[in-house]
Structure 1
Amino acid sequence: MASIVLASASPRRAELLRQIGLSFHVRPADIDETPGTGESPVHYVERLARGKALAVQAAEPSATVIGSDTSVVLGGRILGKPQNSQDAADMLRRLSGTTHQVLTAVAIASVNACESRVSVTDVRFRGLSDEEINAYVATGEPMDKAGGYGIQGLGGIFVEELRGSYSAVVGLPLQETAELLAGAGYPVWESWNSRQESRNE
């Protein structure tokens, strides 16, 4: 059976795949992530997820490769990863008391095929004080995360309401990922009992 590769260095995506019992190895993709002129956020995240999966699959032709990309969108504008502490604080002030969208695309590339899905989740922040924004930024948690927060970490206390996929906000929509893997011939549930049996031997 061909190996499964995660084309991402994100520890959060790796943890989500381990959560559903998947065996895989990591090979981050190196692609240009510059948005195209006038490119919509949905098209952008799907293009990057597919680009990452296809880039790694070209290097490992026999593998099935998972690519993903996440963007936080407020008022139609993509909020990327903060450039510095001031940028992180500014992002959090913009998100305070508002509803934003988290768009996460997942793509599965295998021999002669690449299928993808985009998950859109509405996330509402309660109002945030300057004191808690500054305290959060000082922890360093916002710095490597789209939109400047991690819902699975300290930033989870800011979320008032979520409509959609929690795992997608963390970094990978598990329902869509499992669906695409099954379509590529890897139903994740088939490995659950075999993993247990190998531990019991």
Structure 2
Amino acid sequence: MPESPLSFVLGSSSPARLTTLRRAGIDPFVLVSDVDEDAVVAQALQAYGELAPDDLALLLARAKCEAVSSALLAGDGIEDAPESALVLGCDSVLELDGQMHGKPADAAEAVERWRQMRGRSGVLHTGHWLIDDRADDAGGTGATLGAVASTTVHFAKLTDEEIDAYVATGEPLRVAGAFTLDGLGGPFVTGIEGDPSNVIGLSLPLLRELLAEVGVAWAQVTS
């Protein structure tokens, strides 16, 4: 009989990331971190100065992954949580004209964002951080490592009416960059350069590479 896949924890509330993993054969345990993103960014700015968009994405991915890993190791009464697992944290940031954008704060910000993006191109950076919390007798390495995947996204020339209608669906308020590739925003993306799964929120090729660095083959986490 084939061995059961290794336990895998996704430290993200993103339905798109969860769906991406499941479609690729990974069925993770989901545990959302309680990280105060504003506090993490403020502390980093004070320590290091201005951050590049890709550095910000990796910083937040690491903070989320470490928070989830700590919660699991502390055994904070998390029901059905695996005791020995690989933990992944992610965060996405859209770079446009050197400026970084996460989720819009409200509909007005989403409308203004789309008026800036239409007919132009941006770069979607997704930070990935992986912690190997497997037990020693299960091959655990204790490794903690991360990387960023970046994909160029080309946006259609939307009319004001199209922008208003799209924002009214509420979808742009729930995602970094105020757009999706796999949802209602799909018709407004004319092309991409790079990994499409990264635009959805999680780069499967990059995840495979990170797993390989801790000695885990892709087949070991899929069912």
TM-score w.r.t. the length of structure 2 is 0.81
- Indicate the SS of the match to 1:186: coil
Q: Which amino acid aligns with 2:60?
A: L
Q: Which stretches of structure 1, 4 residues or more, deviate above 4 A after TM superposition?
A: none
- Whether the 8 Å contact between 2:8 and 2:29 is mirrored in structure 1 is yes
**1:17 counterpart = 2:5:** no
Which residue identity lines up with residue 120 of structure 1 in the other structure? S
Secondary structure of 2:34's match?
coil
1:41 Cα shift? 0.9
- Any unmatched runs of 5+ in structure 1? 196-201
Partner of 2:65: helix, strand, or coil?
A: helix
Structure-to-structure mapping, 1:1-201, within 5 angstroms: 3-34=7-38, 35=41, 36=45, 37-61=49-73, 62-111=84-133, 112-190=142-220, 195=223
- 1:191 is displaced (CA, Å) by 5.4
- Counterparts of 1:191 and 1:116 in 2: how far apart (Å)? 18
CA separation in 2, counterparts of 1:170 and 1:118?
Answer: 14
**Deviation, structure 1 residue 134:** 0.6
The answer on whether the counterparts of 1:50 and 1:109 sit within 8 Å (CA) in structure 2 is no
Distance in 1 (CA, whole Å) between partners of 2:89 and 2:214 is 14
Please state whether the residue corresponding to 1:5 is helix, strand or coil: strand
Distance 1:23 1:79 in 2: 29
| Residue 198 of structure 1: aligned partner | none
Contact 2:57 2:91 (8 Å CA) reproduced: yes
- Secondary structure of the structure 2 residue equivalent to 1:154: coil
Shift of 1:189: 2.1
The alpha carbon displacement at 1:5 in A equals: 0.7
Counterpart residue identity of residue 12, structure 1: A
- Assess if the C-alpha contact under 8 Å between 1:57 and 1:63 holds in 2: no
> What code does the residue aligned with 2:214 have?
A
Offset at 1:127?
1.1
Structure 2 unaligned blocks of 5 or more? 74-83, 134-141
| Residue identity (%) | 38
Instruction: Using the TM superposition, give the Cα deviation of residue 186 of structure 1 relative to its aligned residue in structure 2, in angstroms.
Output: 3.2
Shift of 1:190: 3.9
What's the TM-score, normalizing by structure 1?
Answer: 0.90
Matched to 1:31, the amino acid is V
Q: Check conservation: 1:81, 1:145, Cα contact below 8 A.
A: yes
Comparing 27-36 with 166-175, greater Cα deviation is found at 27-36
Q: 1:19 to 1:182 in 2, by over 3 A?
A: farther
